[in-house]
Amino acid sequence: MADKEHFARGLSIGIIMDGNGRWAKKRGLPRTAGHKRGAEVFQDITRYCNELGVESVFFYAFSTENWKRPFEEVSAIMKLFGEYLLKAFDYQKENNRVVFMGDRTALEPRYQSLMNEIEEKTKNNTGMTLNIAVNYGGRPEIVRAARLLAEKVQRGEMSPDQIDEAALSAAMYTHGQKDPDFILRPSGEKRLSNFMLWQAAYSEMVEMDVLWPDFTRHDLDLAIEEFNRRSRRFGGL
Ligand code: IPE
Ligand code: IPE
Ligand code: MG
């Protein structure tokens, strides 16, 4: 890598961690083995993003639609998430601010307490913001934001004409953060699957054929290089 200091510094990156099941199937393993390996890759790529000086990263871990999967698979994913939560305090030493996106009220109460505690303990950290989307959907996030604003209007704290893009953005889970510069989707799929619909307005899409459990630091380098070659115009010339 030519200049690691600069090529990723300050970037905001969304990552749809996809392909765990196919990875496991290819090896004749249960799908849960793919999720286990995927969780390890998530932790390594987080550390690498820190090293690269990335400003914020948004990981899609579990969607509002993923509850449709068999109970055993959902339970296994949630168990991995719980194990991760117990370890997440490492991010204190990494100086990461951790933010959980999504409706946590559907998760186990002890998970919710840990999530709240982690956010609270890391909120003044000055390093990368590590966002983890669990029970997250882009549409539910927009609906929630609309509701929060409606409640403010009802309480007389704002008037309807004060509802603008900035007000909506401030009511999202990602408030105060830069929209993703690019959204990376491994596994070859070419869709957002309800990820960051509001924030993705001008994000570049970077799709890669590698399955998430096989994803390496080098693959992230390739994705960033691909993004750096794009010409963003934001509607201008
Ligand atoms: C992504 O991998 C993990 C979650 C959605 C929780 P998948 O489980 O979707 O893997 P594939 O797409 O079936 O290979
Ligand atoms: C998106 O992947 C959700 C996560 C990676 C958490 P899916 O595997 O659920 O998406 P679809 O079903 O292929 O669109
Ligand atoms: Mg998938």
What single letter denotes the amino acid at residue 183? I
For residue 71, give Cα distances in angstroms to 32, 68, 77, 113.
12, 8, 10, 23
Atom of ligand 2 nearest to the CA of 193: 14
Question: Backbone dihedral region of 211: left (phi > 0), alpha (psi from -120 to 50 degrees) or beta?
Answer: beta
The pLDDT profile of the chain, 237 residues, written as one tens digit per residue, is: 556 668 899 999 999 999 999 999 999 999 999 999 999 999 999 999 999 999 999 999 999 999 999 999 999 999 999 999 998 866 678 899 999 999 999 999 999 999 999 999 999 999 999 999 999 999 999 999 999 999 999 999 999 999 999 999 999 999 999 999 999 999 999 999 999 999 999 999 999 999 999 999 999 999 999 999 999 999 999
3-state secondary structure of 17: coil
The residue contributing the CA closest to ligand 1 atom 6 is 62
Spatial separation of the C-alpha atoms in residues 218 and 206, rounded to whole Å: 15
96 included as an active-site residue: no
Token pair of 138 as six digits: 């882009």
- CA–centroid distance, 133 to ligand 1, in Å, is 14
Report the predicted TM-score, pTM, of the whole model to 2 decimal places: 0.97
DSSP annotation of 29 = -
Contacts of 50 (CB under 8 A, 6+ apart): 94, 96, 127, 128
Torsion sign across C-alpha atoms 137, 190, 174, 222: positive
Token pair of 234 as six digits: 């934001």
